[in-house]
Chains A and B, each alone.
Chain A
Amino acid sequence: MTKKLLDIKNLRTCFYEDDKVIAAVDDVSLFVNKNSVVGLVGESGCGKTMTALSVTQLLPRLNCKITSGMIRFNDQDLLDLDKGQLRSIRGKEISYIFQEPSTCLNPVLTVEEQMQEVVSLHRQEISREDHREFIIKQLKDAGINMPGDKVGAFPHQLSGGEKQRVMIAMAMIPRPKLLIADEPTTALDVTIQAQILRLLQDLKNKYGMAILLISHDFNIVGQLADYIAVMYAGQIVEFSSMNSLMNHPNHPYTKGLLDCLPDKDISSGGKLNVIEGEVPRADSYPCGCRFHPRCPYVFDRCKKEMPPIFCLDDTTPEVRCWLYSNSKT
């Protein structure tokens, strides 16, 4: 039995606009081991969310499609399943929490009503009379103060942190094997953010689930992740264990991003290192390596050929950069 819970291989997800095809996710491969946290980091528009939505196939229905690749979850390919089979996995074995808790909760239902929906769908062994007690326990698990009073509340009566906790409590109801957390703390204040991160960590240990943590902030991902995937322009440019990435980032983009962090003991008036230029738009990616116009180490080959993924060690780090072309692909 493999240790890999989720294994994405060469995933490609495209948008169809007029007569153009835009690959929002292009040749993405990554894996999430059981009971581990993988951080997916990148700047806005790089395809983090689209990658996550591809896993559960919650993509916009009209103009977006997974065109190739493989998504193995628990040794079955999610792309081969029909809708019914997929529904038994989505929301049950793979749960999702989103960035903005206030837009994800139904404003006209109380906390109890919306949580009950999930309980009756996914926890049929719990009898109707025990629902309330179970929901209160879930809320308590998610660190809600005085859960007995809060079950009857409407979302607008809760603070931002409480709403996110309700979202987490709801996501935990089916005891998922994988939790996809898409920027779970971005909308929250820094003190609340710290609490939510700790909560995720504890829930992970308690229920032995894996987390795919999506964020634009290295500092947040660094708190939880065992592995980190760095995304740029629809591709993963580096996939590596947390330790190795922290001590030795390989891809020029990863190095550049880590240098941009106003983190070290800098005296004010000093200067930050920057990555020159702008993130390219999805409809006008440069040919060759997508990072080459901004890369300080650029050479001829980068401008002409797209680098494949090179493996620096047995499994990771994986780096998409010609600088490592003498390693195996």
Chain B
Amino acid sequence: MALLELKDITKFYDVEKGIFSLHCSQKIRAVEAVNLSLAPAKTMGLVGESGCGKSTLAKLIVKLIAPASGDIFFENKNITQLREKEFRPLRKKIQIVFQDPYSSLSPRLKIKNIIAEPLQAFKTEKKKIESRIRELMEQVGLDKMYLARFPHQLSGGQRQRVGIARALATSAKLIVLDEAVSSLDLSTQAQVLNLLINLQKKYKLTYLFIAHNLRVVRFISDNVAIMYRGSIVEKGPTEIVYKKPLHPYTKKLLASQPSWSKRNLSQNHMPYFNKSRTDISGDFSGCQFYQHCPKAKQRCRDSKPAFKQVNTEHGVSCFYID
């Protein structure tokens, strides 16, 4: 049984053209017909390049923004249309950690107040708050002396630990990690990744791990979903997707990751630039990857491939998979 399920989630953003042309706004599909289900106590990795809709999806899940259509189920309960008041008790269980620990912590609050905030919001008794904060600091591996400090006095890794402690404060079940380790240095990143794994084992947490670093995602995720221009083009168990990618975009992505031990990019197969097809018009309805796909045919231009399961776990949206 899935902890969280997204069914056909779509989100548009309005883009207004010009200052005075309020009426001729254009809609941009940020997320389109996304289906995703998160198994409890597992990690789902979400990969894609910038602007593909990863963060929009994260915000939709924690209900910071509302979808244009589709349904979100949390523990089998449809939470899409819930009003803020009805959703509040569930908000405890769904938390988010943002990419930039510099801007997601209030610079004017001490660390203890930052972690106390969610507890106060959910009306925890005053006496319990103090002990809970100490417990949380220990869980994320921060010394108690940092409690009285301000965020600017902490290093990047420590700040991200505070962000994680804050997400854990209300005993969350699902934590959305939106590029949570991307801004950290290598040695700190490894520490935070290990911390996340420990916490998951201990508290049976479910993670949606959003990142653009393919290696980190491979390391931490049980399942992985590859996103391209608002749609999920492939998903499946991490090792299977990494070893036998089916979608041309996944293949390209994996071939592009540089490796320390092997000069894999200087070979001839990487083109200088994306040779893109230009035979498409504004209301193009074909496959999103059509322009850049080496295997694209007429059919890809005319219609959009549906997402189909190759087997029970592994699915892909492409007409021509070998």
Contacts and interface: CB of A to CB of B under 8 A. Distances in A.
Interface string B233-263: 0000011000000000000110111111111
Contacts of B221: 268
A19 interface: no
B261 A191 contact: no
Interface centre among A199, A262, A267 (most CB of B within 10 A): A262
Given A190-B256, A191-B253, A279 B215 contact: no
A272 B193 contact: yes
Interface in A265-299: 266-276, 278-279
Instruction: Report the contact-size class of chain A (Cβ under 8 Å from the partner).
Output: 35 or more
Interface stretch (B60-68, B270-278, B303-311): B270-278
Interface residues of B, number: 49
B258 A44 contact: no
Given A43-B187, A189-B50, A197-B265, A143 B256 contact: no
A126 B239 CA distance: 55
Contact of A278 (B49, B157, B265, B266): B157
A194 B50 contact: no
B186 to A, nearest CB: 5
26 contacts: A44-B156, A145-B273, A189-B212, A190-B257, A191-B49, A193-B258, A194-B257, A195-B271, A197-B258, A197-B266, A198-B266, A219-B257, A219-B259, A223-B259, A223-B263, A223-B264, A260-B187, A261-B260, A262-B218, A263-B261, A268-B218, A271-B197, A274-B190, A276-B191, A278-B155, A279-B187
B185 A263 contact: no
A220 B262 CA distance: 11
Contact of A222 (B186, B191, B261, B273): B261
A199 B271 CA distance: 9
Interface of B: 43, 49-50, 155-158, 185-191, 193-194, 197, 212, 214-216, 218-222, 238-239, 252-253, 255-266, 270-276
A109 interface: no
A161 B193 CA distance: 29
Contacts of B273: 143-145, 161, 195
A97 B113 CA distance: 43
A260 B185 CA distance: 10
Interface of A: 43-44, 143-145, 160-161, 189-191, 193-195, 197-199, 201, 216-220, 222-224, 246, 256-258, 260-263, 266-276, 278-279
Nearest to B50: A189
B194 A272 contact: yes
From B50, B188, B216, name the one whose CB has the most chain A CB atoms within 10 angstroms. B188
A222 B191 CA distance: 23
Contact of A216 (B186, B214, B262): B186
A242 to B, nearest CB: 10
B268 to A, nearest CB: 9
A160 B212 CA distance: 16
B43 A268 contact: yes
A194 B256 CA distance: 5
Given A223-B263, A272-B193, A262 B216 contact: yes
Contacts of B222: 268
A265 B3 CA distance: 29
Contacts of A194: 255-258, 265, 270
Given A144-B273, A191-B252, A246 B187 contact: no
